[in-house]
Amino acid sequence: MDAELRQSDRQQPRPLSAMDMFMLDMDGTIYLGNRLFDCTIPFLDFLKSRGKRFLFLTNNSSKNRLAYVEKLGRMGIKVTPDDVFTSGEATTIYMREAFPNAKVCVMGMPTLEQEFEEAGFELDMRHPDCLVLGFDQAFDYAKMTLLCDHVRAGVPYIATHPDFNCPVENGFIPDIGAVIAYVKASTGREPDKVIGKPHAGIARAVMRKYGVAADALAMVGDRLYTDIALGAKAGITSVLVFSGETTREDYAASKIRADYCFDDLSGIVRAMSE
């Protein structure tokens, strides 16, 4: 049964019908692994019929938007690159404002390096003005040493997201949160800024790019500590679905509160139809 709950610091959640854009987590929210939920396409069609925009949001900075467009297309969801937003792109938006014309040392996959080059940044591994740490499956001891050297030297240090592990088919592999912990142990420093969920930077980047106001933006996801925590940190509406990681028992035991809770995306359709 669907249940509506609200964050403790709001007397009344904003109506879902007042939202202009819904940011959608993917795995656990619209699909699980490679299985698309039955309610996903009807939900997306409903939003379109109501003139609402949706955006597929991911903390993963190792893939560009085209990779997600292709994956969603194989599942029957036809979208454009403008319908996908990654923590990597959010970081370029932040960097253009905070460090314009900076030479950047990007520790990440070639797709993240390309994203920064296309955003107008010069890449410089040896003499950077800023460091950007992203998910990098080619990360080795030489890169780790270079990263720590720059961090010790006081170079501004930005991370695309904080995830400790990245889910893969057979379990998990270490994500950049583990690298952040390693760097802190070696240098004593944490990143000066983290952009991805649950940090507000990723929502602010969405607002800047798409021109949507905070009170018209909703985050929909299945994880309390990323998706729902983002709602409180960014001052936007949060919607928890119990179709992925979080169970109702988990939610009852957590201090993180959502504005709305539903079994799955179909609950949003019913709430907006009422």
Average pLDDT over residues 97-104: 96
CA nearest to 59, candidates 218, 235, 225: 225
DSSP state of 14: P
Cis status of the peptide bond prior to 198, with omega within 30 of 0: yes
Residue 11's pLDDT band (boundaries 50, 70, 90)?
Answer: low
Residue 4's pLDDT band (boundaries 50, 70, 90)?
Answer: very low
What share of the chain has pLDDT > 90, as a percent?
Answer: 87
CA nearest to 163, candidates 171, 172, 155, 154: 172
Average pLDDT over residues 237-254: 96
Model-level pTM?
Answer: 0.91
Mention every residue, 6+ apart, whose C-beta is less than 8 A from residue 139: 107, 179
Domains and CATH numbers, the chain: 16-59+197-273 (3.40.50.1000), 100-194 (3.40.50.1000)
| Count of other CB atoms within 10 angstroms of residue 30 | 28
